[in-house]
Every structure is written in C-alpha cells, then in structure tokens.
Structure 1
Amino acid sequence: MNAKILPTAAATRKGILILMLGVALFSTMDAVAKGLLQSYPTAQVVWARFIGQAVLVLVILGPKRIGPTLRTPYPWLHMARSGFQLATTALFFLSLGYIGLAEATALADTSPLLITLGAALFLGEKLGPRRIAGVVVAMIGALIIIRPGAGLFSPAALLPLACAFCYAISALLTRLVGQKEGPATSMLHAALFGAVATSIAVIFVWHPIALADLPRFVALGCLGTAAQFCLIRAFSMAEASAIAPFSYLGIVYATLFGIAFYGEYPDFWAVIGALVIAGSGLYVWHRETIKR
C-alpha cells in the first residue's frame, strides 16, 4: 500500500494565496452579478458566466489542443464536478434576488466546514485540532455577522445553504481530479457543461441585453474564468481541509463590495465577525506554513 504524499509547507502556502485570490475574484463576480440580476433573469446571468468561460478557455487552448484537453479517463468525475459547480453558481445568484450580498455570502461560506469534514471522510486527509479550530472560529465569525436571531433565516436563506453544500462537493471533486490531471481539463469540461446546460435554459427567459450592460456581462465571464482557475490550482496543490477556512474571506470582500456598490454598510457586529474570520485565517495560515 502506497503512503499518502502530503503537500509541502511551501505548496500549502502557495495554495492558500491562490485560493485567496480566487475568492476575491469570485466576490467581484458576485457583486457584478447582483447588479445584473436587477434587470435580467437569473438563468441569463448564469449563462453569461459559463458561456464567457467556455469562449475564453477555447480561445486560450486553440483548435489543436481542445481535443487532447477534453480526453480524460475520469469523465464521470468531471461531469459530477461540473454539475455541482453549475448548481453552486445558480443557487447563489438566485439567492441574491432575495437577500443581501454579505448575508448570502456568509451563509454560503458555511462550506469550509463541509469541505474539511468531507476531506477527512472521503479523501483521507488529516483532521487535526488546529484545522478544526480554524474552521469553527471562522464559522463563529460568520454567525456573528448573520445573527440568526435577527430574522435572516427565511426560506430564501436555504438557497445559499444549498449552494454551500454543492460548493463543498465540487471542491472535494476538484481536489480528487486535480491530483491526477492539469487544470485545463477541469476548466474546459466545466465550461462546456455549464454553457450547454444554461444555453438550453436561457431560451425560455431571454431578455435583450442593453449595449451599456455588455461590459458587465463580459466581465462576469472573465472574472468567473480567472476565479475558477485559481480554485482548481489551489485545491490541486494543497489539502482541501488546510485551505478551506480561507473561503471565509469572501464575507469580508462581500461586505466591502456591498458598501462600495450598493450602499450596504455593515454594523458593529458585522465588523467584529469579519475580524474574527480574518484572525482565524491568519492563525491557520501561520500554523500550516511552519515546516513539518
């Protein structure tokens, strides 16, 4: 039986930085999507995100590399991963029509706990006390921000919670496939799956796109593509349970974007929660970058 090869401290540190960049890009994409959802159907905004990724990946690869990149000995894993990724985006975008950007992000960011537990149960990753502490403390920070007793938990809150579940499965599959193949294969499969599925759905709800909104639709696809690449790279080079807590930074980004673009100012407890999340992330990062 072969021993499991653990990522080095340098690889874990790099994975954390790449994930942080990916979370920032995803948060920017979500802020752009929230504005578009005020004028366009959810299915059309989700379609723009995946059709943009499909076009960009195909252009970057070029005609000669598309066929070899698509070939994989793990087609069902890619299909499952792509399906859960599409569900993650669709559920989160749908939730933005009912609740605020920061609140939706806070609920969706319960996913690191699911990722950490799933990585221990299904990928054989070590679930040490420091990783557990980082996840739990970050979740406490998230709860401080959303304050369940304040009335946030409504039927609409189930959408980002379902999004968290789908994201966790997608992340675990990304880690599993990423150890076997390069990121281009995962990017292309996810892009084509999402583009085909949403192109069928958008036929029934299409709304003409205003010329002034075209840059935002293009930005949506570009941001989603760059963010997805970062996600694949991060989960391919570091253990899922080690980098998962840094997904909580999305709450901080979402709060800042809420202020900048939608006039949603956080209250005192939201600031405290954000500090708790940042502190837990820095603690895990410090511990994970110490040489084994």
Structure 2
Amino acid sequence: MTSTNLPSADVEARKSFGQGLIWMAFSMASFIGMSVGSRELAATLSIRQVLFFRALVGLIVILAVGRMLLPEIRKMKLVKLHVLRNVVHFCAQYFWTIGIVMLPLASVFALEFTMPIWVALFAWILLKERLSAPRIFATIGGFIGVLVIVRPGTAMVDPAAGLVLIAAAGYGLSLIFVKRLTRDCSPGAIVVWMILIQAPLGLIAALTDWHDVHLSDVPWMLVAGLGALSAHYCQAQALKRLEASVVMPIDFLRVPFAAVVGYYAYGEAIDLWVLFGGGIILLSNYRAVLAERARSR
C-alpha cells in the first residue's frame, strides 16, 4: 500500500466509525421509544395486547417490504428451532414489558444488561463453548451489579425486577438459538419468522385478556411496533461498522438516557444506585469482551 492510499483508508475508517455512532444513536432512541410506547399502551390495554399490536405493526411492515424473502421462507429450514426460539423470546418480551410498566425505565435497562452473562452461560451449556475466566469474572461482577440495583434488605425487593432478570435470561437463550439459525438462515428470514410466529402467539394471548381498543391507542402502537423493528435494525447496522467492544459501552448510555426520559415524562427519581450498579454490570462485560478479543488475536 502506498502512502497516498493511507489517508483515503483513514478517511473511510473515520467515516464508518461516525456512521456507526449515528446508527447506535438511532438504536438507543428506538429502544427507548419502544419502551415508552409499550408503557403508554399498557395504561389502557393489557400487556398481552401490547405484545400483539407490537407484532402486528411488524407484520404489516414485513408484508410490505419482505416479499423478496418468500423463496427462503417456503423452504421451511429449521422451522422447529424457529418456533422454539420465538416462544422463548415471546415469553421474555412479556416479562420485560411487565418490568417496563412496573419499574423505572433506567432500572429495566440496567438489569437487561445482564444478558451477555446469560449468553455466555447458555453457550457453555448448550453449545459446549468454553466458559473462560473473563466470563466467570463478568458473571460475578454482573451479580454484584444486580445486588447494587435491587439492594435486598434495604427495602422490599420489587418482584418485577426478578421478572426483568428472567427476561434477560430469555433474551440470552434466544440469542443462542439465533446463533444456530444463522448457519442456515439469513438474518432477514429470521426476522420474518419472528413476526410470523409471534403475531399469532400475541393474538392468542391477547384474546385471553382483551380490553377495548381506542383510536387514541394507534399512535402508541406505531411507536412501540416501529420502535422495536427500528431498534434491532439500527443496532445491526451499527455492528457492521463498529466492534462489539465499542458498541457495548455506547449502548449502555440507554440507562442514563432512559433515566432522563423517565424523569421528565413520568416524574421518576433518578436513582444513582441504578446507574452505579448498571456501571458495574457494564464494566464487567466490557472487560470480558476486551480480554477475549485480545486472546483471539
């Protein structure tokens, strides 16, 4: 490579990094938007209806733009694993949405950041991946962070916090299934199967606890549904341009941003213990990522 090519490569790298930061900003805004939309819907509808209408919006979008994936969908590759993955993911979403309704937004996002720990644990159990020393330390650090957030003994622990931890475990298990699916299925097909399976699941669940739907609910349905699709799409775009070791600390900014939104939108007090405990969880996982990255090199 000549010296004249170096500035061009450097410019491209900087451009890609800047684009990755922008995609991450959109992803964080989308996650928080989905949370606010879900909470607002839950004020008049049941949580099961919230899940259904969120999936319904996704179904409409998929029908509009996902026709090119029909040939792959018709092959029915690993359909049983798709079903298992989405049943687990649907249950995790149910528990997570309860947490969004019952807990401050920042607490939910902080507890959700235990997910990488669950991924490492399930990868060890199901995929026989080695549970490295950095991951063991990350697990211990994550546990300490959870204790800081919920602070057992200082007051009655909200059961919703336990549900969010179960949701994080469910998301972790779902990611393990996705990792297996990506060997034979495209990311687009995985998303399509998610919508096709979870929309009927949501409808069946919603019919068991149906409340009257009003026209005023429609905007929040769009915020929750489009926010869910946008969050994952933007995050995937960011991961194309940024390494995971960069994405993780940026993504953690969801916690203080959610605290600010919760403060202004719902009058939630900004709990420094939540930020402190979430920081412990973040640093534990971040150090594990850096250690494993150095070992792979």
Residues 117-146 of structure 1 deviation map (CA, whole Å, 9 limit, x = unaligned): 111232243433334334433443343222
Please say if 1:177 is aligned against 2:177.
Answer: no
Which residue of the partner structure matches residue 45 of structure 2? 40
- Following superposition, the deviation at residue 172 of structure 1 comes to 0.8
Instruction: Tell me if the contact between 1:245 and 1:281 (Cα under 8 Å) persists in the aligned partners.
Output: no
Residue of structure 1 equivalent to 2:33:
28
**Partner Cα separation in structure 2 for residue 239 and residue 123 of structure 1:** 23
Deviation at 1:47, TM superposition (A): 0.7
Amino acid at match of 2:49: Q
Percent identity over the alignment is 26
Mapped contact 1:106–1:146 kept (Cα < 8 A): no
Partner of 1:127: 131
RMSD between superposed Cα atoms in Å = 3.9
Q: Which runs of 5+ in 2 are unaligned?
A: 1-12
After superposition, residues 258-277 of structure 1 pair within 5 angstroms as 258-277=262-281
Measured after TM superposition, the shift of residue 193 of structure 1 is: 0.9
Asked if 1:206 is matched to 2:210, the reply is yes
Rounded to whole Å, the distance in 2 between the matches of 1:171 and 1:196 is: 21
- CA-CA distance at 1:258 after TM superposition: 1.9
Shift, 1:76, TM fit: 0.9
Unaligned runs of 5+ in 1: 1-9
Quote the residue 2:144 is aligned against. 140
Q: Deviations over 1:199-224 (max 9, x none)?
A: 22323433343333322211211111
Q: Find the counterpart in structure 1 of residue 106 from structure 2.
A: 102
Assess if the C-alpha contact under 8 Å between 1:43 and 1:201 holds in 2.
yes
Pairing partner for 2:57 from 38, 52, 68: 52
In our comparison, the structure showing a higher alpha carbon Rg is 2
Q: Could you give the per-residue CA deviations for residues 23-51 of structure 1, whole angstroms, max 9, x where no partner exists? A: 66334312321122122211111111111
Residues 114, 165 of structure 2: 8 Å contact kept: yes
Q: Which amino acid aligns with 1:86?
A: F
SS of the equivalent of 1:148 reads coil
For residues 76-91 of structure 1, what are the structure 2 equivalents within 5 Å? 76-91=80-95
1:145 is matched by which residue type in structure 2? I
- Is the CA contact (8 Å cut-off) linking 1:109 and 1:251 kept in structure 2? no
Write the distance in 1 (CA, Å) between the matches of 2:62 and 2:130: 34
Q: Which residue of 2 aligns with 1:190?
A: 194
Distance 1:109 1:276, change over 3 A: closer
In the other structure, the counterpart of 1:7 is: none
Please tell me whether residue 257 in structure 1 is matched to residue 261 in structure 2.
Answer: yes
Contact 1:110 1:164 in 2 (8 A): yes
Contact 1:53 1:225 in 2 (8 A): yes
Q: Which amino acid is 1:189 matched to?
A: W
Cα distance between partner residues in 2 of 1:262 and 1:139 = 29
Q: Compute the displacement of 1:106 (Å).
A: 3.9
Q: For residues 141 and 157 of structure 1, do their structure 2 counterparts lie closer, same or farther at Cα, with a shift above 3 Å needed?
A: closer
Task: Give the structure-2-normalised TM-score.
Answer: 0.76
Cα–Cα, structure 1 residues 174 and 139, in superposed 2: closer, same or farther, change >3 Å? same
Provide Cα deviations, 1:226-270, integer angstroms capped at 9, x if missing partner.
Answer: 23446778999x999x99898766544543332232121223323
